[in-house]
Amino acid sequence: MSSLPWSQTGLHVIAKPIGPLCNLSCDYCFYLRKDSLYAADEQWRMSDETLEAYVKQYIEAQAAAVEEIAFAFQGGEPTLLGIDFFRQAVELQKRHCPPGKRIHNSLQTNCILLDDRWCEFLAENDFLVGVSIDGPGQLHDKYRHDKAGRGTFDRVVEAVELLKKHGVEFNTLTCINGHNAQRPKKVYRFLRDLGIEFMQFIPIVERMPGVEIFGDQGNQQPDELVSRRSVHPGQFGRFLCELFDQWVAEDVGRVFVRDFDQALAAWVGVGADLCVYTKQCGRATAIEHNGDLYSCDHFVDAGHKLGNIHQASISELANSPRQEQFARHKEERLPEYCRRCPHLFACNGACPKDRILSSPDGQPGLNYLCEGYKTFFEHIDPHMKSMAEELAAGRPPANVMRRLRANRQRVRQETATSGRAARRNDPCPCGSGRKFKSCCMRP
């Protein structure tokens, strides 16, 4: 945790200017159900008054040392608001941005409404666009469809080509679910071949009704606590491992995967800065269309509503004792099993929203994905140490690829001259612990 005072650590407020409204009906979307928090006749569009209050207060809430202020717009589907809403937001940012500060905008979108006019605006105003895509067609369309039940893959890919055409900076957000988690190489290669240079992956963990975070789930098995769409812990770990193997062999320095970047920061010793992997969270809040501020976009519920920015400022709400307590809970409620774990430095219990299991000794608060995280961190450890060594010596971590190629060539030569060739399913002679076919046998 930073040694800076709570109010001086970085603050991020994710804006939901159209609430949960969306032009799609993705099966696993947790935010569509947030309409139950408001009246049936709710006017979901963020008003001009609330937009200006948000922009002004968010800028004022930043610590003095912050030079770049990052605005993030999500939904629902924010493009339903139209270009003029975001043009107004940019003008308000310019009006309220003090000298010496910079503004940067990002927009997470399903891409269905993007056209030339949208892309011209996004390029002109230097927006970073997050493209929601779950892999190639048959994997993406499994759960991401429109309200008529039609797949959306072709329309998303068309939008990606438009973003490229107009020079809009973009990355991808891929939800790992029980379906596409079975095809990690196919997902990664598809995204890479689509020209994606920065990838983000989020595991889908849908709690069943009555399953409480940090709760005692009795004798229920992990699979009984989540939906069938959810990724299984073992699946999650294997997905990340196979993704990593593709990346570390071919794409270090060319393709950036958020989870791998965060892991390297942990191994180097500077620590992750993504809330999932930090000791405490609470500095990534969410603002709804009417100015209601919540502890986190995964905790938009009555129990985590901090207040409304028309009654108290963002700074007051986000730096309140109540929010600080929310942040501390992540660390304070770790089971002893986690505190003794050799991977704690990289994981820190991961996201509290998924901490629904009990540890082997019966303490609540173990992350549902713990098994997967442990598999992943054990798998990447030697490579992360190699990359950390390269960085410490002032060399690029991409050198790890040259080391891997040299090691594989050595193993093949030794195997060929030893008088006994390793078989496909034998343990790899390099000592990785993986099967030969999945390690140095691979070209």
Output DSSP code: residue 146: B
From 134, 245, 297, 354, active-site residue = 297
> Can you spell out the DSSP letters for 257-306?
EHHHHHHHHHHHTS---SGGGSS---SEEEEETTSEEES-TT--SGGGEE
Which tokens hold the place of 58? 């968010």
Strand-pair partners of 358: 364
Contact indicator for 201, 191 with CB cutoff of 8 Å: no
DSSP-based three-state secondary structure for 420: coil
Q: Is 53 exposed, middle or buried (0-12, 13-18, 19+ CB in 10 A)?
A: buried
As a whole number of angstroms, the distance between CA 332 and CA 334 comes to: 6
How remote is the C-alpha of 66 from its chain's centroid? 23
Omega before 362 within 30 of 0, i.e. cis? no
Q: Give the phi and the psi of residue 66 in degrees, each rounded to 5.
A: -75, 125
As a whole number of angstroms, the distance between CA 60 and CA 145 comes to: 39
Is 223 an annotated catalytic residue?
Answer: no
As a whole number of angstroms, the distance between CA 189 and CA 6 comes to: 41
Which positions are catalytic?
297
